[in-house]
């Protein structure tokens, strides 16, 4: 089922296309409040983000998703749980494969969702990573779609699961020995 939250934004099972369709009015209210967890405001604006781009995958500020351009059409894809998008690899990778010191390698200059701490965001300047805290006194989550920190009710927290990362470390140690 497609859900249109904003003009020219279609959310279809994790994909976003730049079109407009009708939607159930009951969902409009939930969508405007940001209460539909699988639907988030899109970084895809009225213009087509794939104009002038070759077919392929591209980073966005939400590291748990990526932009896919195919035949001039844009769609957003979700990474599987425990993974985030790496522009160097051109795919979603496991969380332990990169850390803060190498996070910005291959990324554009921008702010990005911190996959390890939803209350922080990462600013990439060149290949350097700067970990930025939303607020030291109030619990806020970084919203990569609006490039600002929001109350948790407005933008839910998502982080890589530490258990998955530890399982990778243990698995790697078992393979080495």
In a domain, 144, yes or no: yes
CATH code of 131's domain: 2.170.140.10
In a domain, 6, yes or no: no
Give the Cα separation of 46 and 5 in Å (integer).
Answer: 13
Q: How many domains does the chain contain in total?
A: 1
With cut-offs at 50, 70 and 90, classify the pLDDT of residue 8. Answer: very low
Residue 70 has, within 13 A of its CA and on its CB side, a CA count of 9
Q: What is the pLDDT of residues 118-160, one digit of tens each?
A: 999 999 998 899 999 998 889 999 999 999 999 999 999 999 9
Task: Classify each residue of 142-155 as buried b or exposed e, where b means 16 or more C-beta atoms within 10 Å of its C-beta.
Answer: bbbbeeebbeeeeb
- For 56-80, how does the pLDDT look when each residue is reduced to its tens digit (9 = 90+)? 999 999 999 999 999 999 999 999 9
User: What number is the average pLDDT over the span 1-12?
Assistant: 37
Range of the domain at 157: 56-167
Structural domain contains residue 70 = yes
Residue 45 has a pLDDT of 53
Global pTM value: 0.67
Is 177 within a domain?
A: no
d(CA 123, CA 73): 28
Kindly state whether residue 26 falls inside one of the protein's structural domains: no
Is 12 inside any structural domain? no
């Amino acid at each position: 089922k497609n859900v249109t939250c904003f003009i020219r934004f279609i959310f279809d099972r994790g994909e976003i296309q730049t079109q407009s369709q009708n939607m159930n009015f009951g969902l409009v209210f939930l969508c405007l409040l940001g209460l539909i967890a699988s639907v988030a405001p899109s970084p895809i604006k009225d213009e087509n983000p794939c104009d002038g781009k070759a077919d392929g995958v591209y980073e966005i500020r939400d590291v748990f998703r990526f932009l896919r351009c195919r035949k001039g059409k844009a769609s957003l894809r979700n990474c599987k749980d425990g993974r985030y998008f790496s522009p160097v690899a051109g795919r979603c990778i496991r969380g332990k494969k990169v850390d803060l010191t190498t996070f910005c390698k291959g990324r554009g200059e921008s702010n990005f969702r911190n996959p390890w701490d939803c209350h922080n965001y990462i600013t990439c300047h060149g290949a350097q990573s700067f970990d930025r805290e939303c607020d030291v006194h109030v619990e806020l989550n970084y919203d990569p779609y609006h490039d600002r920190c929001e109350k948790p009710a407005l933008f839910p927290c998502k982080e890589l699961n530490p258990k998955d990362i530890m399982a990778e470390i243990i698995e790697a140690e078992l393979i080495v020995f």
